[in-house]
Amino acid sequence: MGVSAKVLIVDDDPDILDSMAEGLRTLGYDVLPASDGEAAFQVFRAEHPPLVITDLQMPRIDGLGLMKTIKAASPSTAVLIITGHADLDSAIQAVRQGAFDYLVKPFDLETLLGRVNQALERHRLLAENEVLLAELEQRVQARTAALVESERRLHALFNGITDSLVIVDQAFTIVAANEAAAALSGTPAESLIVRNCFRELFGREEVCEGCPILESFATGRATSRSMSRRDSDGCVRYLEVSGYPLADEGERPTEAVEHIRDVTEKVHQAHHLHNSEKLAAVGQFAAGLAHELGNALAIIGGAVQFLLGCPGDRRQASREYLEVIHRNVAAAGGTIRDLLAFAKPREPSLRVLDVTESLDRARLLLRGEFEKHGVEVVRQYAPGLPRIQGDREQLQQVFLNLLLNALQAMEDGGTITITAVFGPPEWVRVELTDTGHGISKEHLDRIFDPFFTTRERGTGLGLSITHRHVEAHGGRLTVESQEGKGTRVTVLLPAMIPEGVQARAR
């Protein structure tokens, strides 16, 4: 500790006190003498010496009591007990309670010096240890704070990513999930933990076919796949799913990051763009074709009408054939009108209206056909539907075409359910669901293509024109179907909502 170390000496015997003080001073120590426990503690509070030498037997406060008081204030302070043979047990007890050591009277200066040096060296080591522990604690606290901040940032980044992110183990159990994944599944993020990703995120009871996570675990490489899932409302979402294995260098991955990006809107846009390009090309062709056919049919129709008007036997002999020609010319004229409507569609004449009015007009026009084929129509209109801006005639044609398609899919009767609801924040949603024979997968992607039809006498233009009318209203038209189970057609039209109501809807 050094020759300037302070030593507090406590003894109620003045001779012993002076003797020890004089001896330690000659050896270079800064001696602080005290004749009783109370005075000693006052000196200790003022000077904070690293070593206290105290007699065990003293009036009022004995050496053991003084040691306890000092240790309570400064645990690292070394206390050396002086005792006689009669009090040896008490001295041993003091060591057990924290005293550095004890000396039995009488003792010589050399023995005292040896104990003092040992006690001061121990105090020095303890003091250095406390400094090191304090520095270590500061470093630990700083490192802990840095880790907490890093974890906070990673957590914020993890949850701030708008795509769905989950971490799964080899059993496809979710060990971490962000808020986007929670929104996709409809389950709070903390509740997704220890659940299976294929069940919670894709609504399946077993591992998805072509699962990229399975391949990432097998190969140790990042993998991507295009997948789909059906929401609770029946709508299909298209997803881009990627797997990124997590493993230390040279080890097989035990966990993987599953990144799920919703590309439904991009898929729809791509389909719309593809259809628009096809429609533009076919439209030009259709316009020219309709013009040429129209001229020819007009000439044929005029000639037939002239012949039908001829008197006598000439008219009667050919009347049956002329009527066949006349009917077919009329049918061809209807096809030409469809072609012209497809090739040169007029812009909708918008006005504020109730979409259910157009629905009911189309339904009433087909009421006789519904009764004839044993088809029941069920209406489910939500109360208080917002109005839309639309063309009454075009929307009536839209719903008429859709109802006709549903009717033709139920040759032996069935049910058509018409639902109209408000789909916040901006849509009036109309669904027409039938119990017909459905549409095969190979045909479902082509139903909006011009001239595509599965009926013998169909033109294949009805749904193309319907699709174009809906888009001209700023809406969306989707079709979902399963063979043998029926078809659901969804029409979304922009709703007219007051600003205050729209803000609440969001």
The ranges assigned to domains in the chain are 6-132, 161-262, 268-343, 351-505
Query: What's the rounded Cα separation, in Å, for the pair 317 and 281?
Result: 46
DSSP string, 332-373: HHHHHHHHHHHHSPPPP--EEE-HHHHHHHHHHHTHHHHHHT
- Residue 26 tokens read as 């000659």
Mean pLDDT for each consecutive 10-residue tract of the chain (506 residues)? 76 90 89 92 92 90 91 91 80 87 86 90 87 89 84 77 87 90 86 88 85 87 84 75 81 86 78 62 56 61 65 57 65 61 68 93 89 92 92 89 88 91 85 89 69 54 78 89 88 77 44
Give me the pLDDT at residue 505, please.
43
DSSP code per residue over 276-295: HHHHHHHHHHHHHHHHHHHH
Cα 310 to Cα 46, 253, 303, 328, distances in angstroms:
140, 91, 11, 20
H/E stretch holding 80 reads: strand 78-83
Distance, in Å, from the CA atom of 80 to the CA atom of 122, rounded to the nearest integer, reads 12
The answer to whether 51 and 119 are in contact (CB under 8 A) is yes
The residues, ordered by sequence, that sit 6+ positions from 120 with a Cβ below 8 Å of its Cβ are 1, 5, 50, 51, 78
Superfamily of domain 6-132 in CATH is Response regulator (3.40.50.2300)
Hey, which bits of 145-285 come out as E strands? 164-169, 174-177, 223-230, 236-246, 255-262
Inter-CA distances, 254 with 169, 173, 193, 217, 244, Å = 6, 11, 16, 8, 11
Q: Provide the strand spans (E) within 448-499.
A: 476-482, 486-494
Residue at token pair 């439904």: 264
Q: If one looks up domain 351-505 in CATH, what number appears?
A: 3.30.565.10
What stretch of H or E contains 20?
Answer: helix 14-26
Q: What token pair was written down for 353? A: 């209206």
Radius of gyration of the chain (CA): 48
Are 370 and 432 in contact by the 8 Å Cβ rule? The answer is no
Domain 161-262, second-level architecture: 2-Layer Sandwich (3.30)
The residue among 458, 465, 464, 466 whose CA lies nearest residue 432 is 466
If one counts every other C-beta atom within 10 angstroms of the C-beta of residue 121, the result is: 12
> Is the bond into 106 cis (omega within 30 degrees of 0)?
yes
Q: Domain 268-343 classified CATH 1.10.287?
A: yes
Which token pair is 435? 């119990």
pLDDT at 503: 42
